[in-house]
Chains A and B, each alone.
Chain A
Amino acid sequence: KNEVEQSPQNLTAQEGEFITINCSYSVGISALHWLQQHPGGGIVSLFMLSSGKKKHGRLIATINIQEKHSSLHITASHPRDSAVYICAVHPAQFVNQFYFGTGTSLTVIP
């Protein structure tokens, strides 16, 4: 049983395309994170959300708490956006736990 499901697992896009990655979760949460991992690289936190929408540059993250769903959007995608994007939730029931999705591997072709 996986508390966090991401889709798609793999995504290939042409440079400039608008990209959406989805995350659904099955538990009540206190917060949700979107993480980015470049090939062979470390993990960087892009966003932390507990409601609504956040924007940083070309990245936009939204969350719908009632539907237990979040999306990460990338506008005007660029090859440097190629990475694995991971959704992680902070469950309300367990203060010190995080549940992770298995990630979405994005490749942006020039």
Chain B
Amino acid sequence: NAGVTQTPKFQVLKTGQSMTLQCAQDMNHNSMYWYRQDPGMGLRLIYYSASEGTTDKGEVPNGYNVSRLNKREFSLRLESAAPSQTSVYFCASTQNYGYTFGSGTRLTVV
């Protein structure tokens, strides 16, 4: 099925560890996004990529890096995880105002 695929679905990290969240879409969308969702705060934009080869910071970029490897893939990296990064992470892609989300990654940093 066409859509946005995120991996992993769950992850537990120790403080200071690093990891990369993967996201891929097969809808030929230009724009891709990484959000975090925390209780009572709604979705907040971490980074976005308007097109292959470009990335821009969103509302809460500190502690994260991204790579738009090609048109399909947009990865989010935590270089040194902190407990404040415990959250649910969603990748999304859009084209012509249509909006598709991945199923989310539940990350816990202990």
Contact = CB atoms under 8 A, between A and B. Distances in A.
Interface of A: 30-31, 33, 35, 41-45, 48, 50, 86, 88, 90, 95-98, 100-103
A100 B97 contact: no
Contacts of A95: 50
B97 A90 contact: yes
Given A86-B42, A101-B42, A102-B42, A30 B104 contact: no
Contacts of B43: 86, 88, 100
Of A43, A86, A90, chain B has the most CB atoms within 10 Å of the CB of A43
Contacts of B92: 43
Nearest to B98: A48
Nearest to B43: A100
B interface SS class: strand
B45 A97 contact: yes
Interface of B: 31, 33, 40-45, 48, 50, 56, 90, 92, 97-104
Contacts of A100: 42-44
B24 to A, nearest CB: 15
Given A43-B90, A86-B43, A97-B45, A30 B50 contact: no
B45 A98 contact: yes
Contacts of B40: 102
B99 A45 contact: yes
Contacts of B103: 41-42
Of B48, B56, B101, chain A has the most CB atoms within 10 Å of the CB of B101
A43 B101 contact: yes
Contacts of A48: 97-99
A42 B102 contact: yes
Contacts of A88: 43, 99
